[in-house]
Amino acid sequence: MPATAARAIADIRVGNTPLLDVSFAFPELGEKVKIVAKAEWANPGGSVKDRAAFFIVKDALETGKLDGGKVLLDSSSGNTGIAYAWLGARLGVKVALAVPGSIARQRRAILEAYGVELFFTDPLEGSDGAIREVRLMLKAEPGRYWYADQYSNPMTWRAHHETTAPEIFEQTQGRVTHFVAGLGTSGTFVGAGRRLRELKKTVRLVSMEPDGPMHGLEGLKHMETSIIPKIYDDTVADSRIQVSTEEAQEAAKALGRKGGILLGPSGGANLAAALRLGRDLVAQGREAVIATVFADSGERYLGERFWQP
């Protein structure tokens, strides 16, 4: 690895994001059930994807995968791409991305500002269409690209195993009882879930996914009808919750208007799942600390119609 890149990596600070208690905005939870969430917009690139991208890029530089001026190639619905983009700019790595044509305008502008080479795919094919395009690009020019492959790269889940989970455990003083997270690459849920179970055997792990294939929750997968990420492990979850796009949007709006915190749609989906779980636990008269992840800020999505009254 070039010495300049090594020095730059040493200066990068990803993770150690705040843990927010949002229970105050939902009085129906009472005093016994708490919902806490990692505010991942506090990462340098503004999202949870900074964690995985940093581990992926750091590993690629350390192992020589990007030697010879190879271009980092991957598919992304937005946030991972932004993470690759700022890391690439900081570390001198060229980045090319295949993204669905439906990518939010602001995310596209951010990627272009960092100088990323973009290839747009059919919006109706979602993230799977972008994956297929990347595979074709790699086949056509194998000498030009190194395929980061966030859906198969073990660094995706290891990032959360080594950072997200220990942070949650420490920030809750070990009181976390449940962990809820959505499935996209599945790295957050699989990595953090595995580590939390190592730290506390009684923790309950709940995966969340959209309730159907034609959903509007960017970055999340309806697993039954999607290309399954190689890193996904369906034995990690103790239970599963499916959330509709509308339910996720309503949860995001509720926290914005009752709690003064703006969430993106995937964060709204995680919140919706945590709220559903929390209300069930209240009905059972149980105590709980439900931890989840707010992947990014709602500021990146203020152009979306659901924010309108």
The reply to whether 114 and 185 lie within a common domain is: no
User: Based on the number of CB atoms within 10 Å of its own CB, is 48 exposed (0-12), middle (13-18) or buried (19 or more)?
Assistant: buried
Indicate the pTM of the whole model: 0.93
Determine whether 268 is exposed, middle or buried from the number of CB atoms within 10 Å of its CB (0-12, 13-18, 19+).
buried
Those residues whose C-beta lies under 8 Å from the C-beta of residue 170, and which sit 6 or more positions away, are none
Choosing from 147, 170, 187, the residue where a domain stops is: 147
In terms of residue numbers, what domain contains 202? Answer: 3-47+154-307
With vertex at residue 241, the alpha carbon angle to CA 17 and CA 27, rounded to the nearest 5 degrees, is 65
Q: What are phi and psi of 14, to 5 degrees?
A: -115, 140
Are residues 102 and 31 part of one domain? no
Give whole-number Cα distances, 286 to 5, 181, 290, in Å.
Answer: 50, 21, 12
Say yes or no: 111 and 232 in one domain: no
Q: What is the CATH number of the domain that holds 284?
A: 3.40.50.1100
268: Cβ–Cβ under 8 A, 6 or more apart, which residues?
Answer: 248, 249, 250, 251, 252, 253, 255
Q: What is the pLDDT along the chain (309 residues), one digit of tens a residue?
A: 766 777 788 899 999 999 999 999 999 999 999 999 999 999 999 999 999 999 999 999 999 999 999 999 999 878 999 999 999 999 999 999 999 988 878 888 999 999 999 999 998 888 889 999 999 999 999 999 999 999 999 999 999 999 999 999 999 999 999 999 999 999 999 999 999 999 999 999 999 999 998 888 878 989 988 889 999 999 999 999 999 999 999 999 999 999 999 999 999 999 999 999 999 999 999 999 999 999 999 988 887 778 877
Domain end: 130, 147, 164, which one?
Answer: 147
Whether residue 69 is found in the same domain as residue 162: no
Last residue of a domain, one of 147, 180, 196: 147
Q: How many domains does the chain have?
A: 2
